[in-house]
Every structure is written in structure tokens, then in C-alpha cells.
Amino acid sequence: MANPYGPNPVGKKQEVNYQQGDIAKPKEVQYIAGLFKGTLSIIDAPTDAQLATYSAMVYQNTPYSKLKELNAEGEVGNAIPSKVGDKSPIKYVFYVIKENRTYDQVLGDIKEGNGDPSLVLFGENVTPNQHALAKEFVLLDNFYVNGEVSADGHNWTTGAYATDYLEKNWVVSYGGRGGSYDGEGNRSVANNKGGFIWDHCKKAGVSYRTYGEFADNYKPNIPVLKNHLCNYFTGFTGLVADTTRFSQWKRDFDSLLAKGEVPQFNTVRFGNDHTEGLRKGRPTPYAHVADNDLAVGLFVEYLSKSPIWNETAIFILEDDAQNGADHVDAHRSTAYVAGGFVKRNFVDHTMYSTASMLRTMELILGLPPMSQYDAAATPMWRSFSSTVQPKGFVSKNNLVDLNEKNTAMNEWQRRSEKFDLAKEDAVPDLEFNRVLWYGLKGENTPFPGPKRAAFFKQTKTLDKD
């Protein structure tokens, strides 16, 4: 369902109960992990004929098929190939991974998209670069993250699924009932069995490099990233500005470009849109998000002025939506594309997902899908064209003081002081969003809760009636 009464940072005091979910007090709790509804059906064992009918209906209704593993939806001549192994004019892929925002929180104020301005927290005055990317390139207003939280979100973002262990464990861990943060290569049992996208690049002979993703404390979290990372790029922490991370990436990129060794696939982590809440003396949520926005703008501008721009595609997304408010669904999030073959001034209403973005990058790089999810996902070919438009991108100056600090002493500031921000999502996202909402919107603005929606593709059934 949609979640206008879901987790965001400002409003009336609400009780958070992670065990009971939203059953007793739906408008007060509505935590993303409490919104899942389970059903149990007991049916008579089918006959062989009935079982065959049921199986045929399942195959009709699932978007996955074996044929789709090597052949995807697309159009002739598009820069995104529709067959695995076909050549793309795009040679370099940059995959920027950010932290925890819904569509309405950032882009809900763009009139061309399906947004709700009342739910905007970080609109154009805070994120001018992301708004410019959406307007000058492609506005994606029907994009959904596959992950629920960062614990499984980063595995989805780089591996097109999360293991059964991880999907079950994060709920217990986030509910404060034991366990640890096992995603992002922190525990081998939680790692995707077929590996992550870097493993598939290695297998296919595609060069790759990571900047902060699956790399903590300047070291790789998984073996495949050994000697394939920038060892001075800072990983997740709100103590270092994303604009500083941009400078770290720029230094490394320049050295690789000079040697003609820019990898074909690059993952870059800009995560300060996560914010530190209202912790006193630390940058305000607006300052953190504005810093993140400027880093993204500078990054796209720098690549657009480089000699590889016409052969480059940039993909930007959030690893998860952090259960923030959105009038369509708690998973709907911001996503951006840029590059020489990306369309300009275009609105793409196609339903895409994290898996769609991965599938698109895989097709560019000649990689087969990593799971049934990206194999079944719709590639983002509608956002690309068959011809190069070499015009670059000019970043926008920040409209928020990046040095602005939290100074207020109130309930929301006190709650922020107790947050453990050493690792993403160490703070329950409902509580974090409530602090942000009330701290930014004020006590008199009702706190919107999470929405959940169901999406399906209707097909014909085998029932003769």
C-alpha cells in the first residue's frame, strides 16, 4: 500500500513497535517490516491434470523465462542491446549508489512526474543538480528499489537478489532481537551464491573498479575487489563530505584516464543523503543532502567534459528507500541516467526496478543476468537512443549552506544523539524518518506513513470460462 502515513522525520509522537507491526495501530507504527502481510492457504492435493494446469498458469504469469536470459526487451539500433553479447556503443558504465530516499521526498515537486509535493523534504532548493538531471536527461517517476533496507538493499543493488539467510536475518536484526549487519560482504553466509556484479565482470573479462561500495575502511569486503578499488576513497560515514569523495574519485579517475586504463565498470558510493538526523553540532539534514547533490552534479559534469563522455553511461540510484513517505509505494525511489546516448528532456513512465538498472548495465557490458530477477526485469532502453547527443552537463551551485549545523535542543535532537550512525541503517528507519520529518517540517505537520502497492501484469488464464 502507499505510505503517506509512514516513516519520515517530523510530527506527533508515535509509538514504534517492531514486533507487532501495523496491526494494532496502523497510522502510528507502519514500519516497513511490519507492513508485510502473510497468508496461509490449505488446498486439496491437485490431480496430475490440475497440477499441469496450475504449472502452466504460473509460467504464463511469471515475467521470467529461460529465453529472457539471453534475449531482453528492446528496439533495433538502440544503444542498449537486446541480446546478451551484442555490442553496445557505450563502453564505460558508472554506477552511483546513494542512500535511502523515496521519489516524493526529493522529486515530488516536479510537475511532469507523478509526485506529491506535500511529501517533499529535499526539493529543488536542496537538490538542484538531481532536479536538473531529471529535467535535462530523463525523469524516472516509476522506479522502485528491490531492497527493503540497506542490509539487503546493497546486495540487491549489486547482485540482483539477496540470500534467503539475509532476507530473514535483517528483520530480526533490525527489530533489535539479535544478529548483526551481514550485508555488503560483511559475512560470507549472506553473500550472493553466484557472486556480485564484479564477480560476473571478472568472469567475462570486463574491467572493473569500486569506490567505497563493498569496501570499508579502505579495504575490500569481498575477494573479487582485491586490487580493484581506490584505496583512498572513503566508504560510508557522515563525517566525510560527498564533495570530498568526489575529489578522491576525480584524482583516481584522472590517473587512470591518463594511462588509458579507465575500467569498463565503476561503482561509486555517495551516501550522505542518508544524513545524521538532528545530531547537535553536525551538518543539518539539508546540508548533508545538498552536499550529496553537489557531489553528484560535479561527478556528472566532470565525466561530461571528459574525452570518454560519448561512450559513457551513468546510472544513479538509492540502495533502498528507507521506508520514507511516498504516495505510491514505500519502495518508489529516485533514479537518474546520464550520458551521450541518454535521451534529453524525456519523461519515462515505464515501471523499472533495481533489477532493471542492473539488467541494462549487464546488456551494455555483455553480461548475462545474475538471477531470475534481472533476467525478468525490463531494461531501461526507452531512456536511451541510437544516436549520440554530445552536449554535457553543467552542475548547479548549492543553494544550502553546506556548513549549516544542527543547533536546536529539542526532542528530535535528543533522539538523534542516541543514533548509532557508524553503519548505515544501524538506526531503525521508521524512527530515523520520524526525526527527519518532525525536525524539518515542524511539530504541527502530520507524519506520513509508508505506503505499499501491488504491481502485476495481467495475462490470460487457461480457464475456458
Residue 363 carries which side chain, given as an amino acid letter? L
* Non-local CB neighbours of 406 within 8 Å, separated by 6+ positions: 278, 279, 280, 281, 282, 283, 284, 413, 416
| Higher-confidence position of 452 and 141 | 141
| Higher-confidence position of 289 and 33 | 289
How do the residues of the chain divide into helix, strand and coil, expressed in percent and rounded to 5?
Answer: 35, 10, 55
Decide: 323 and 428 in contact? Cβ < 8 Å. Answer: no
Confidence band for 430, pLDDT divided at 50, 70 and 90: low
Confidence band for 446, pLDDT divided at 50, 70 and 90: confident
Lowest mean pLDDT among 1-15, 136-150, 153-167: 1-15
Helices 197-204 and 354-365, packing angle to 10 deg: 10
In order of their start, the domains of the chain are 66-383 (3.40.720.10)
- Please say if the pLDDT value at position 183 is more than 70: yes
Residue 49 has φ and ψ, to the nearest 5°, of -65, -45
> Which residue in the block uniquely carries the three cell numbers 538531481?
130
Decide: 314 and 452 in contact? Cβ < 8 Å. Answer: no
- pLDDT (0 to 100) of residue 178: 79
Q: pLDDT (tens digit, 9 = 90+) per residue, 305-349?
A: 999 999 999 999 999 997 688 999 989 999 999 999 999 999 999
Q: pLDDT (tens digit, 9 = 90+) per residue, 98-125?
A: 998 999 999 999 999 999 999 999 999 9
Q: What is the rounded CA–CA span in Å between residue 174 and residue 170?
A: 6
- Convert 263-275 to b/e letters by CB count within 10 Å (16 or more is b): bbbbbbbbbbbbb
Average pLDDT value for residue range 254-281: 93
Lowest mean pLDDT among 14-23, 73-82, 191-200, 439-448: 14-23
The gap from C-alpha 316 to its chain's centroid, in whole angstroms, comes to 8
Q: pLDDT (tens digit, 9 = 90+) per residue, 88-99?
A: 999 999 999 999
Beta strand 312-318 with 335-339: parallel, antiparallel or unpaired?
antiparallel
Q: pLDDT (tens digit, 9 = 90+) per residue, 362-416?
A: 999 999 999 999 999 999 999 999 999 999 999 999 999 999 998 866 666 666 6
First to last CA, the chain: 31
* Non-local CB neighbours of 240 within 8 Å, separated by 6+ positions: 234
Highest mean pLDDT (candidates 246-255, 274-283, 420-429)? 246-255
Cell of 43: 488446498
Q: What is the pTM of this model?
A: 0.86
- Please say if the pLDDT value at position 461 is more than 50: no
